[in-house]
Amino acid sequence: MTENDQGNVPSRQRKRFPGISSRAYEHPADRSALVALRKLSGFDTVFKALSGLLPERSLRLLFLSDSVRVSDAQFNHLNEMLRDACYILDLEKVPPMYVTQDPKPNAMCIGLDEPIIVVTTGLVELLDEEEMRAVVGHEVGHALSGHSVYRTVLLFLTGLALKIAWIPLGNVAIMAIVTALREWFRKSELSADRAGLLVGQDVRASMRGLMKIAGGNHLHEMNVDAFLAQADEYEKAGDLRDSVLKILNVLPRTHPFTTVRAAELKKWSESRDFQRIMDGHYPKRSEDKDTSVTDSFRESAGHYADTVRTSKDPLMKLVGDIAGGAGDLAGDLGGRLRNRFGAGQGPKQPGDGGPTTGDDGSGPASGSGGGQSEG
C-alpha cells in the first residue's frame, strides 16, 4: 500500500509508520511467551498436524454466509477505518472484515493462511468512532504480528478439550497446550492494544473503549482516572491469598482484565519507547530476519525483573524480597570467598608475608612494615 493509493489515506491526518515491524509495539512478555510456547514439548507436532485439520475454509464460508462483510457498500465507516489502520501500520494486504450478530461486545482476528477480522454488533453499537478505530487498529496489529494463526489453534483446541473431557486423562496434554496458549494470548492482547493506540493516536479514546467494554454504554457515569485507580487498587490490595486468587481468576481467560489493560496502555503511552515510535524511530520489518532470539529473551527477562521489582502485588513483593535476599547472600558469600582465597591463591598463613593494607586500603598498615616479616 502506498501513500498515493486513493481511498487509503486516513480520514484525518495521523502519523504513518512505513515498514514498521510488530517488534516496535509488541509487549516483551508477548514475545517471550510465544518463544516459550514454540519450545513447549509436543507443540510443534500438534501444530503441524492441526494446520491440515483446522476447518479454516469452513470458518470463512460460515462468516461469508451468515455475517455481513465490510465494504464500500456495507458498514462503510468500518471499511474506511480498516483501510486507515492498514495504511498507518503499512499492512499491504487489507484483511477481510465481517460484522456478526452477537450482543456481547467482542472482536477477533483468526485464520491460518490469511487473517480475517470479525467484530460483533454489540461492539459496533457500544463504541463511538474513535473508540472503534482503536479496536480496528488492535485487530490489524494482531494480523501484522501473526497472532491470528495461534488464536485459531487456541479456539480449535479449546473446543476439542471440551469434547474429550470425559476420557480419563484424555485432555491433559491438550489442556497443557491450551493453558500455554491462553497465557501467550493474554500477553498478545497488550501488544495489540499498543497497535490500536498507534492507529488511533488518541489515548483517551482507547481508555474510553476499555471502560465501555467493562461497564457498558454509560460513559457519563464513568471516569478514566477513577477507572485507572481501580487497576492500582487491584494490583496492591489484599494479601498473599488474594494474589493466588488473582492467578486462579485469570487462568481461564484469553484476555487480561480491562482495568489492567488500561493501566498497561497508559504506562506505555507515557514511555520513551512510544515517543520514539511517534518520532519515526522504530524497528523495520526488513530487519526482522536479523533479530536475535537471545536478545528477545534478555529483554523479556529484564521486563519481568522490573515488573517484580516495581509491583505492588503482595506475592510479587515476596518474590522480589526472596530474590533480593538470595542476591545479597550470594554477594556476601562471594565477597568472603574472594577475601579468603585472594586472586587465585590459597589461604595465607601467618608469617607468609606480602603487603598488607591499612583500614582505608590505600597502603601499608602502620607499624606492620612493607616487606617480609622477620622469622
| DSSP string for 167-218 | STTTTHHHHHHHHHHHHHHHHHHHHHHHHHHHHH--HHHHHHHHHHHHH-S-
For residue 308, is it within any domain? no
What's the confidence (pLDDT) of residue 100? 97
For residue 331, is it within any domain? no
Indicate whether 228 pLDDT > 70.
Answer: yes
- 219: how many CB neighbours lie within 10 A of its CB? 14
Instruction: Tell me the one-letter amino acid at 237.
Output: A
- Return the HEC string of 207-267: HHHHHHHHHCCCHHHCCHHHHHHHHHHHHHCCCHHHHHHHHHHHCCCCCCCHHHHHHHHHH
Rounded to an integer, the average pLDDT of 17-22 is: 94
Q: How far is CA 72 from CA 80, 112, 124, 208, 259, in A?
A: 8, 26, 17, 27, 35
Indicate whether 313 pLDDT > 90.
Answer: no
Percent of the chain surpassing pLDDT 70: 55
Instruction: Tell me the one-letter amino acid at 324.
Output: G
Buried b (16+ CB within 10 A) or exposed e, 346-373: eeeeeeeeeeeeeeeeeeeeeeeeeeee
Q: Which residue has the higher pLDDT, 264 or 59?
A: 264
For residue 121, is it within any domain? yes
Interior angle at CA 218, CA 245 and CA 246, nearest 5 = 5
The answer to whether 124 and 106 are in contact (CB under 8 A) is no
325 backbone φψ class: left, alpha, beta (φ>0; ψ -120 to 50): alpha
- The average confidence (pLDDT) of the chain is 75
Indicate whether 154 pLDDT > 70.
Answer: no
For residue 145, is it within any domain? yes
User: What is the Cα–Cα distance from 323 to 310, expressed in whole angstroms?
Assistant: 13
For residue 157, is it within any domain? yes
What's the confidence (pLDDT) of residue 375? 41
User: What is the Cα–Cα distance from 85 to 143, expressed in whole angstroms?
Assistant: 11
For residue 309, is it within any domain? no
Digit-coded pLDDT (tens) for 352-366: 444 444 444 444 444
For residue 312, is it within any domain? no
Q: Which of these, 211, 7, 223, 16, lies nearest to 128 by C-alpha position?
A: 211
Domain count of the chain?
A: 1
For residue 314, is it within any domain? no
Q: Which residue has the higher pLDDT, 224 or 374?
A: 224
| Signed CA dihedral, 208, 211, 216, 220: sign only | negative
Instruction: Tell me the one-letter amino acid at 258.
Output: T
The answer to whether 246 and 231 are in contact (CB under 8 A) is no
User: What is the Cα–Cα distance from 370 to 356, expressed in whole angstroms?
Assistant: 7
Q: Read off the DSSP letter of residue 8.
A: -
User: What is the Cα–Cα distance from 9 to 86, expressed in whole angstroms?
Assistant: 10
The answer to whether 276 and 282 are in contact (CB under 8 A) is yes
The answer to whether 318 and 240 are in contact (CB under 8 A) is yes
Domain range for 185? 22-291
User: What is the Cα–Cα distance from 210 to 178, expressed in whole angstroms?
Assistant: 25
What's the confidence (pLDDT) of residue 248? 72
What's the confidence (pLDDT) of residue 82? 97
Digit-coded pLDDT (tens) for 20-63: 999 899 888 777 666 565 555 555 556 555 555 556 677 788 89
